[in-house]
Every structure is written in structure tokens, then in C-alpha cells.
Amino acid sequence: MMIHTNNYILNIKELWDDVPEEYLSHKERYENAIKKAFIVLKVLRQLHTGNIQITDHRTPTNVYSIQDGIFRNVNPLLIHIGLFWSTIAAQASTEQQAEWLQPDSSMIGTYVQTELGHGSFIRGIETTATYDSTTDEFILHTPRLSAYKWWPGGLGNTANACLVMAQLYINGTCHGLHIFLAQIRDFDTHKPLPGIKVGEIGPKMGFNTADNGFLGFDNHRIPRTNMLMKNVQVLRDGTYVKPKHDKLTYGSMLLTRVTLISDLAYQLSKAATIAVRYSAVRRQSPIKSNEPERQILDFVSQQHKLFITIASSHVYRVVGLWMWNSHKRVTADIHEGNMGQLPELHALACCLKAISSRDASALVEQCRLACGGHGYMMASNLPQIYAYTTAAVTYEGEYTVLLLQTARYLVKFWRLAAEHKPLPQNFAYFEDYIKKNFEQWRNSPEGIIEGFKAIVAGKTKAAYDTLQCNLRNGREFEEAWNMASVQLTNASEAYARSLLCEVFWKETVQLSTKVSKSLAIVLEQLAELYLMYWALEKHGDLLLYSTISRNDIEALQSRYEELLALIRPNAVGLVDAFDIRDEVLCSTLGAYDGRVYERMMEEASKSPLNEDVVNESFHKYIRPVTMKNKL
């Protein structure tokens, strides 16, 4: 039977809510999500074992692309599928993978790294894994409250196993962070195993079906062979066999940061679809007093708020794929023992994950604000998309912390440029900047890309010079670095913006040669709009570090407004092209049929507060006050 996954999943009625989850308790929301998660997992397993033939072989992506509609919030198995499986696949030995990655495995896992006391500075993680050679086991232990694992998704009630990031000790020597597989609940009864204290951390701003939990180990023993040993080994006699690179253990964070860029593109496409469609339906205020009220999409200020979101979704789709392919290439090199490209991949993943999540969070909020009061309704789905998206600024590497990682990379190449040493081609512009080989400003996409490179060079130089000044003033390097950290993060942000503009423009120009002329025109308008938008946002930096003039900036503003007008006729078509089903969009404002007010009223009628004409609280609390001594 050849069917399409989407239709197969859509026909599973229990997956599609009748009662909006906003009316469920914290506990009911979790239980409702778990019911659905295991229906989906069963489908995935049937697809994996071929029990369901499908026409669409992009299964995981396919199921992933509609899971938002199923969960409205987060699939409690997201970390099981998105991190637990992927980490075992990337960091477990062949033998371990054969044992642990069975399609019908009883393990439901999570990725357990963050502790109450440490999230960003993972070298400060306190959970220990001590090798006991007498029993050929590791002893996992949580020495104090701050060492309790805190945050892992699925940990509270769902997971019966986990990958634990812990400090490895052998014969009193600490070998740093390593990953260990630990069963934490009985597979049959689901009761926590002896020495395991586990629970759920409580309500959050979003992710309220993610079952984030806490976990403490009380001298919990696991076999030596439960340490993930693809890149590093502990032998039976306690011999430690070092990895080829001591950051390979950090590989899951690197992969998730890369994956997140594409996920954020998808979140932006949802928010843009909702806000643009609503703006095409909503009429508010005439432009000329003697004319009818206009679609709010006709207000240029509304176009300014929304078209950048459409463009940004495409930017992160393109850059997310570019980074995915880079990750595949570097991973293949690492497999061959060549670690040379890892530092660059880490630096790119850090700044691009940081900036994409910050952009996406701000633009989803901008879409909500652009929908007025109705955007503030949970039934618009914009609050949930915001709550989901803004978490990505924090998890998988907090924004500032990751930008500072990229700053290490930029400062390294600026130092080479300052010392007139050879530079890789992608940093040749550092040398141009030092030699003041400035190109005359061009009000074109190529000119803007060159301008953003000048900003990177200028900001990196400024941060580097401050660093050097602090060192000359007798500060130790770490203190000098801390004092320059605002400028360092600014340089990294500029580097990310420069990459986004360059990669997106180049990919768009290439794509334009493969599509119809009319589509090529629209795609290039979107790409040009993105570059113009950010050139105007960063015009101060361009004035500081490039050869742009005030007149050039005024010309950019005019071209930007032209682009808004050019894109306006295609705006609804552009979001329809994201092709997000109503069941996934879950939005009264963004539904394809445009029946906004009818859908809002339909959703309002589901409120339990509309079940009784007079709520019992009138008789209990209101009447005794308002009608006292009146009868």
C-alpha cells in the first residue's frame, strides 16, 4: 500500500486535539502529549521496519514537519529522537550501536548534561563517573545539590535511560567530560532504579510538554562498556585511551546547533504565514479618509515588519542547509582522522546558532505585535511559536557564550593579520582592511556584502586593540578578555551577519539560474531586501568601518522601500509557498481560508468558561458583595 506519511498521520484521529491544550492541567498536558508521542513513535517504527509503505521517503523530516500540529508545543520524545539517538549514532562504538540502536529497543532516552549549578561552563560539571576496576564498572555520583542534572527533556517522567555527561575519574585522575549510558528506570515497571532520584522541574514559559526533569545519582553503578567509546576508550585494566581531539565529546552540541538553524527557519515560516495572511484579511483604517478601510498589509510600516520575516526564513533555510552540508563534510574528515576543519565548523555553528535564534525570536515577536490584540490570543498560535523559538537563544549554548567562542576564532585570525602572517582565503579581507584597501561603496548586494566584511574587520580590530591595551596595562589575559567581551561579542555578531548575507545572496543568485525568470525575480527581490534591511539596521557600523556615505544610506532607504512595494503583490503567494497545512499552523489568524473572525469565535466557544450561562462564582463570591442589603 503506497500512502503519503502526512495523510497517514493526519488520519490518526487521536493525534488531533479536540480540547485545546490551554484548558488542560500541567499533568493532563503531559499525559495528552505522551499518548500522541507514542502513537507517532509507533508509526516511525513501522515506517522503519517497512510495515507501512510510503510515497514520501523524507519520513523523519515529514513526520517532524507536521508534529507541531500534533503537539502544538513540543514532542516529549524530541530529545530521545533529536539527541539521544543521534549521540549514540555519532559517539558510540560499532558494537555499542548494534546493541543500543535496535528499532524496537525498550530504551526511551534523553541527553543529560546541564546541572542546577552549571549549564554554560560545562568543564564545571560536578557529576562524577569513577572507574571501579574490581567490578569493571563506573560509579555515577551526584556529590551535591548543585550537581543535580536539571533541564533534560523527557527526563521527568518519560525516559528510562539517559546519556550522562560526567567527569571521568580513573585511579584518582580526572580525565574530563565523557558520555555514559545509564538506565534510570525499570523497563517493565518504570520505577526509578536504586540510587536514582528523578522528577519533573515544573511549568516553564514554553516547552510545557517537553517533560524537562531533574536527576541525581547516589553511587549508581553501570558497566564499563556503557561509556560511549567510539572516539575514546577505558580498557578493562583502567587504561585511558585518549581521543584524537578532546572536543569530540562536545559533538552532539555542535550537531544540534547546526540543526537548529533549519528548525528556526521553519518556525519563522509559520509566524510569517500567520501574520501575512492575517494582514491580507484584516482591514483597519482607510488611507484616504473618503475610501474604505485598507488591508493592513497595504501599510508600508506593516510590510517593513513582515517581509523581513519571509526573507529571514529563506536565509536560515539556505544557511541551515549550507551548515548541514559543512557538518557532513567535516564529520567525514574527522572519521578519516583529519580534525583540521573542526575549529571553523565550531566557530560558525556558534555564531550562526546564536544569531539565528536571536533573529527568529525577535521576528516571531514582531509578527505577533503586527497582528494587534488578536496576535496575543493563544488561538493565533503566535505566543506558542514565540515561547518555543525564544528558548533556542538559551539552550544548546547560550547566546553570549557562543558568540564569545566565535570571538576566539576571529581574534586568532586578526592576530595573524596584524603580524602580517599568511591568512586563509576567507579572511583575506582582514589584510585588506589593515592595508586600507577599501573598495568604493556600491549600493548593490555585492557592495553591502563587502561593507559587512569591513564591519567584521573593523569590530574585530577594535576588540583586539582593546585586548592588547588591557594586556599592556598589566591585566592577565582572562581579565583582559572579560573587559573586552562586549566588543568581542559585537565582532562575532557582525561575522554571523556577514556570513548570512554572503551565503544567502550567492545561493540565491545560483538558484535564480535554475528557476523561471519570474520566480528568479521574486527570489532576488527577497534576498536584496534582506541585505538592504540589515545594511540600514547597521548603517552606523557601515559609516564607521566602510566607505558608505550619508547619500548612499538615503539611496539604500529608497531602494528598500521600492522593494517593499515590489514584494507586496507576492507576499501572500510567498507565505502560501511555505505550504504549511492548517492542521500544523493551528492558527485562527493564519488559516488558508481566511475565515479569521469565524475561527476566533469557534475557538472562543471551546472555553470551559462558556459552558454555563452564569458561572457558579457569581453566587459564591460576586452576589454576596454586590447584592448585600439590596433585597
Residues lying near ligand LF6QOOUY in the complex (CB under 6 A) are found at: 40, 60, 63-64, 67, 75, 78-79, 81-82, 111, 113-114, 120-123, 153, 247, 250, 253-254, 256, 259-260, 263, 342-343, 346, 395-397, 401, 405, 408
Residue 122 contact partner, candidates ligand LF6QOOUY, ligand FAD, none, CB within 5 to 8 A by sort of partner: ligand LF6QOOUY
Distances (CA, A) of 175 to 124, 128, 130, 178, 240: 13, 11, 10, 8, 8
Residue 254 contact partner, candidates ligand LF6QOOUY, ligand FAD, none, CB within 5 to 8 A by sort of partner: ligand LF6QOOUY
Query: Quick check: 114 and 165 in contact, CB under 8 A?
Result: no
Q: Which stretch binds ligand FAD (CB under 6 A): 62-70, 283-291, 393-401, 427-435?
A: 393-401
Q: Is 200 in the site for ligand FAD (CB under 6 A)?
A: no
Residue 67 contact partner, candidates ligand FAD, ligand LF6QOOUY, none, CB within 5 to 8 A by sort of partner: ligand LF6QOOUY
Which of 115, 137, 396, 450 is flagged as catalytic?
396
In this complex, which beta carbon is closest to ligand FAD, that of residue 5 or of residue 492? 492
Distance in angstroms (rounded) separating the CA atoms of residues 125 and 167: 7
CB of 209 to ligand FAD, least distance (A): 11
Q: Which stretch binds ligand FAD (CB under 6 A): 312-320, 398-406, 504-512, 622-630?
A: 398-406
Q: Is 214 in the site for ligand FAD (CB under 6 A)?
A: no
Distances (CA, A) of 16 to 4, 158, 415: 18, 21, 57
CB of 406 to ligand LF6QOOUY, least distance (A): 9
- Burial pattern 159-168, b for ≥16 Cβ within 10 A else e, equals bbbbbbbbbb
CB of 523 to ligand FAD, least distance (A): 34
Q: Is 295 in the site for ligand FAD (CB under 6 A)?
A: no
- Is residue 368 classed exposed, middle or buried when 0-12, 13-18 and 19+ CB atoms within 10 A define those classes? buried
The secondary structure element, H or E, covering residue 213 is strand 213-217
C-alpha cell at 241: 585511551
CB of 26 to ligand FAD, least distance (A): 15
Q: Beta partners for 199?
A: 214
Distance in angstroms (rounded) separating the CA atoms of residues 535 and 541: 9
Q: At a CB cut-off of 8 Å and minimum separation 6, what does 30 contact?
A: 76, 156, 157, 200, 209, 211
- Is residue 573 classed exposed, middle or buried when 0-12, 13-18 and 19+ CB atoms within 10 A define those classes? exposed
CB of 580 to ligand LF6QOOUY, least distance (A): 16
341 phi, psi to nearest 5 deg: -90, -5
CB of 605 to ligand LF6QOOUY, least distance (A): 31
- The region that residue 338 occupies, defined by phi over 0 for left and psi between -120 and 50 for alpha, beta otherwise, is beta
Q: Is 398 in the site for ligand FAD (CB under 6 A)?
A: yes
Active site residue 396: yes
- Total residues in contact with ligand FAD, by rule CB under 6 A: 21
Distance in angstroms (rounded) separating the CA atoms of residues 285 and 293: 5
CB of 226 to ligand LF6QOOUY, least distance (A): 20
C-alpha cell at 44: 516511525
Distances (CA, A) of 91 to 181, 248, 441: 11, 8, 48
Q: Beta partners for 234?
A: 240
In this complex, which beta carbon is closest to ligand LF6QOOUY, that of residue 59 or of residue 233? 59
In this complex, which beta carbon is closest to ligand LF6QOOUY, that of residue 253 or of residue 456? 253
Residue 5 contact partner, candidates ligand LF6QOOUY, ligand FAD, none, CB within 5 to 8 A by sort of partner: none
Q: Is 250 in the site for ligand FAD (CB under 6 A)?
A: no
- Is residue 54 classed exposed, middle or buried when 0-12, 13-18 and 19+ CB atoms within 10 A define those classes? buried
In this complex, which beta carbon is closest to ligand LF6QOOUY, that of residue 79 or of residue 586? 79
Of positions 62, 75, 113, 167, contacts ligand FAD by CB under 6 A: 113
Query: Quick check: 231 and 220 in contact, CB under 8 A?
Result: no
Of positions 96, 114, 127, 142, contacts ligand FAD by CB under 6 A: 114
CB of 616 to ligand FAD, least distance (A): 37
Distance in angstroms (rounded) separating the CA atoms of residues 72 and 22: 10
Q: Is 404 in the site for ligand FAD (CB under 6 A)?
A: yes
In this complex, which beta carbon is closest to ligand FAD, that of residue 484 or of residue 574? 484
- Asked whether the CA dihedral 131, 135, 141, 143 is positive or negative, the reply is negative
Of positions 131, 207, 322, 429, contacts ligand FAD by CB under 6 A: 207
In this complex, which beta carbon is closest to ligand LF6QOOUY, that of residue 40 or of residue 457? 40
Q: Are strands 213-217 and 128-132 parallel, antiparallel or unpaired?
A: unpaired
Distance in angstroms (rounded) separating the CA atoms of residues 350 and 344: 10
Of positions 387, 391, 542, 556, contacts ligand FAD by CB under 6 A: 391
Q: Is 403 in the site for ligand FAD (CB under 6 A)?
A: no
Q: Is 111 in the site for ligand FAD (CB under 6 A)?
A: yes
119 phi, psi to nearest 5 deg: -125, -55
Q: Where are the alpha helices (DSSP H) in 235-341?
A: 251-281, 300-335
180 phi, psi to nearest 5 deg: -130, 140
In this complex, which beta carbon is closest to ligand LF6QOOUY, that of residue 213 or of residue 397? 397
Name the amino acid, one letter, at 435: K
Residue 164, classed as helix, strand or coil, is strand
Query: Quick check: 367 and 309 in contact, CB under 8 A?
Result: yes
Q: Is 227 in the site for ligand FAD (CB under 6 A)?
A: no
Residue 250 contact partner, candidates ligand FAD, ligand LF6QOOUY, none, CB within 5 to 8 A by sort of partner: ligand LF6QOOUY
Q: Is 378 in the site for ligand FAD (CB under 6 A)?
A: no
Residue 400 contact partner, candidates ligand LF6QOOUY, ligand FAD, none, CB within 5 to 8 A by sort of partner: ligand FAD
Q: Is 120 in the site for ligand FAD (CB under 6 A)?
A: yes
In this complex, which beta carbon is closest to ligand FAD, that of residue 109 or of residue 451? 109
- Annotated catalytic residues are 396
Binding residues for ligand FAD (CB under 6 A):
79, 111-114, 119-121, 151-153, 207, 212, 391, 394-396, 398, 400-401, 404
